[in-house]
Amino acid sequence: MKINIKQKDLKATNIVYRLTLISGNNIKYYIGRTNQTLQKRLYQHLNNKKSQVCKYLQNNTIDTIKVDILERNYFTQLLDLKETKILLRHLLKYGKKNSNLLNKDFKGLDKMSVKDMKILDSII
């Protein structure tokens, strides 16, 4: 398995990030937020058996994991909001059933109607 990440991003903190797990034509995503270094958080995803990413890796062969930083901010509340907005936009783009997200926690977005999700998207 190959991990694509920019070396300078390993030490990044206070970020919203996306993991893209690629296996042939099959792609899964994980969107998360961390105050830790990305390197430490990535290690946790790969080695903590409770992690949704680790569980997926145990049962699937992955060619590549691509790591992208989507947002940077020093305020935890803003990071939470940015993570929610990115999850929201992903769900609106792909739909709830076809989102290809490994996330377990959708911050309640998965229980909202598309109409309400669009209203929330216009607000945040």
7-54 pLDDT, tens digit each: 999 999 999 999 999 999 999 999 999 999 999 999 999 999 999 999
| Average pLDDT score over the chain | 93
Contact yes or no for 70/17 (Cβ under 8 A): yes
**What is the per-residue pLDDT across 55-114, written as a single tens digit (0 to 9) for each?**
999 999 999 999 999 999 888 889 999 999 999 999 999 888 778 999 988 888 888 999
Q: What is the DSSP letter of 7?
A: G
